[in-house]
Amino acid sequence: MTGLAGSRAADAKRQAPVASRFSGFAVQSAISLVSTALIGVALVPAFIQAFLDKPLYYPEAAFTLGNFARLFTDPEIVRTFGTTGLFCLIVVSFSMVVGTTLAVLVGRTDLPGRGALLGVLLWPLFISPQIIGFGAILAYGPYGLITAYIGDAIGVPRPWNLYSVVGIAIISGIAAAPVTMLYCIGAARQQDPNHDAAARVVGAGPGRILRRINLPLMRPALVFALIMNIVSALEALAIPLILGNPVGIRLLTTMIYDLSFDRGTPNYGLVAALALMLMALVAVLFLFQRLVLAGSHRFVSLGSRAGQLRTLPLGRWRWPIFAGVVVYILIAIAALLGCVALRAVTQVFSPDISPFEVLTLANFETILSIDVYVRSITNTLVLAVVGAAAGTALIAGVALVAQRSDYPLRRAVDGIAQLPRVIPGFIVGLGVFYASVFIPGASVLRNTIWLLFVAYLIRFLSSGYGIVSPALLQISADFDRAAKSVGAGWTTTMRRIVLPLSKPALLSCFILLMILIIKEYASAVFLMAPGAEVMGATMLALWLQGQTGPVAALAVLQVALTAVMTVAAKQLLGVKLHG
């Protein structure tokens, strides 16, 4: 009897690893299928629509290449290509020059107050682009506050034209400059001090060290920032729409918006073809980035025995440069946000009327009493919490499969997780919209916030994956092997060991997703409907209708929510969202 019991125990022990392996494989397969399905939702319907002559839900829709032919034969579209190219050139040039200069000043020199200046200079990262666009009109538009003051001072009523390709591009460049800073500041700080010391020995001054040593060693970060800025310029929608549409300036993105909304019968085939072409351009840029950075090991500049990096002295230029940075902050950040805040608490906004004479809280009362505003706030907060939680869970699962498993398709899962990087936000929304009318049963989600929920999961999969995946790679695989040696399966090992060790990265991912969802507008413009409003898309739509006061109040509330989350992430959870 004892022998029989021992035999059964031995059989159970042998079967346990088999059951664990099967369970782990099933979980890995489920995670892979969910992530693949989400990306398919964003891409497949749009791809099909691009080759149809009618909306894809029409039974009589037929195959055609005419939509792509129009991209190169329609004079309006061809002109838009030229305008988009000029816009991208100005945006990228401005953001690269300004962002790199600020990164070097803050990261490598003895500029006074570097830490405080860095925090302020990165603010636009956490602010929705449409808020920057609103602020630009209120500050630098033809009847803007700063325009009037400068015009009176120099005797020229309108010293600049905000409603031009150059004006739109500079404001977009202001929004993009912090991206360059973020990528370059780490490269500026993490350099071998021995290089600087050797240069000083042979008599090189700070300027020559910076030009001949520091900037060349930053080349991988500069290439990365350059590609990201080109991609951001190609994807830009809110600022070109707010500033360009009133005067007839159209980019590829605003043309897609125009074809979808502003004309009587939307040309879905042409819209899809334009979207796919834009996505292909972005994909080519990212491929080029990978090829260029394939040899980035040649620029490794921090060795294991490096000492502390000395800051480059600015000498007599220290305080003038500090004053210049402060002036940039006042012009490019404080003026824009300040004018939005002033508009939120005034009845009218005019340089001819003192704001203190027309102060009011009516705009805030409006957004807290009118249904459309209340729903947009409520829906945004619900999506921020639920979407961030679900997104973090999905991202954690995808990262575990891609980085901590022997799943046969793990490399494909890693590629799928990074694919949303090449899909602009409004194209995600467009694809989800097509899916809601193409996939049987998906129509029940239409006109609900849960369709937005799906879009947000797709939109921010890559953003969260970029935080969680590197953190998993830093956890030793010895934990996995130790757990396996005592009979623990993959699922148990990940749940009991690896995920708890990844808690800081998961918290960072959760907070980042909440902030991104609160400020998101691009993927919502095609999906917003009565009852499914969100703050970002509501602000954009109502601003275009001329309701500036309530929109400014919504913008202030959005900035406040983002600021509270950012501070809470840093102070309470110890999460740092930027370098």
Q: Tokens standing for 552?
A: 């400014």
The residues with which 63 forms a beta bridge, in sequence order, are 52
Residue 306 lies in a domain: no
pTM for this predicted structure: 0.84
Written as six digits, the tokens of 195 are 């290089």
- pLDDT attached to residue 15: 47
Evaluate whether residue 1 is within a structural domain. Answer: no
**Crossing angle for the helix pair 449-459 and 2-50, nearest 10 degrees?**
100
Q: Is 163 domain-assigned?
A: yes
d(CA 552, CA 345): 9
Residue 426: what pLDDT?
A: 82
CB of 339 within 8 A of CB of 145?
Answer: yes
| Residues 548 and 350: beta-carbon distance below 8 Å | no
Residue 174 placed within a domain: yes
Q: Residues near 472 by Cβ (< 8 Å), separated by ≥ 6?
A: 399, 400, 403, 404, 498, 502, 505
How far is residue 147's CA from residue 342's CA, in Å, rounded to a whole number?
16
Q: Are residues 72 and 50 in the same domain?
A: no
In a domain, 16, yes or no: no
Instruction: Specify the pLDDT at position 307.
Output: 47
Question: What is the model's pLDDT at position 196?
Answer: 53
344 and 374 together in one domain: no
Q: Same domain for 46 and 106?
A: no
Q: Report yes or no: 221 and 115 within 8 Å, Cβ to Cβ.
A: no
| Paired strand residues for 109 | 312
**Per-residue model confidence (pLDDT) at position 45:** 85
Q: How far apart are CA 380 and CA 536, in angstroms?
A: 9
Q: Are residues 406 and 282 part of one domain? A: no
Q: Which domain holds residue 227?
A: 65-293+322-360
Say if residue 37 is in the same domain as residue 117: no
Instruction: Give which of 401, 415, 400 is closest to 472, Cα–Cα.
Output: 400
Q: Are 350 and 372 found together in one domain? A: no
Instruction: Kindly state whether residues 55 and 108 are assigned to the same domain.
Output: no
C-alpha to C-alpha distance for 91 and 8, rounded to whole angstroms: 71
Structure tokens at 384: 């921020």
Q: Which alpha helices (H) appear in 74-125, and where do they start and end?
A: 75-108, 114-121
Residues 44 and 81 in one domain: no
Q: How far apart are CA 569 and CA 560, in angstroms?
A: 14
Asked which of 360, 380, 406 is the last residue of a domain, the reply is 360
* pLDDT by 10-residue block (mean), the chain, 579 residues: 46 50 82 92 87 85 91 92 95 94 86 89 88 94 91 86 95 92 75 52 55 65 84 90 91 88 72 89 82 55 48 84 96 94 90 84 92 92 95 94 90 89 84 84 86 94 88 82 83 89 88 91 86 89 85 92 78 58
Query: What pLDDT, on the 0 to 100 scale, is given for residue 301?
Result: 44
Distance CA 68, CA 77 (A): 11
Does any domain span residue 341?
A: yes
- The per-residue pLDDT for 545 is 82
Residue of 397, 401, 404, 423 whose CA lies nearest to 413:
401
What is the length of the chain?
579
Q: Is residue 11 part of a domain?
A: no
- Structural domain includes residue 224: yes
Q: CATH no. for residue 106?
A: 1.10.3720.10
d(CA 178, CA 118): 10
Instruction: Say whether both 230 and 339 belong to one domain.
Output: yes
Segments of 361-447 assigned E as strands = none
- Among candidate residues 306, 334, 360, the one where a domain is terminated: 360
Vertex 359, ends 354 and 361: CA angle to 5°? 160
DSSP per residue over 5-51, as a string? HHHHHHHHHHHHHHHHHHHHHHHHHHHHHHHHHHHHHHHHHHHHHHT
* Number of domains present in the structure of the chain: 2
How many whole angstroms separate alpha carbon 210 and alpha carbon 124? 27
Answer yes or no: do 383 and 279 share one domain: no
Last residue of a domain, one of 309, 339, 360: 360
Do 349 and 372 sit in the same domain of this protein?
Answer: no
**Both 225 and 371 in a single domain?**
no
Q: Which residues pair with 359 in a beta bridge?
A: 346
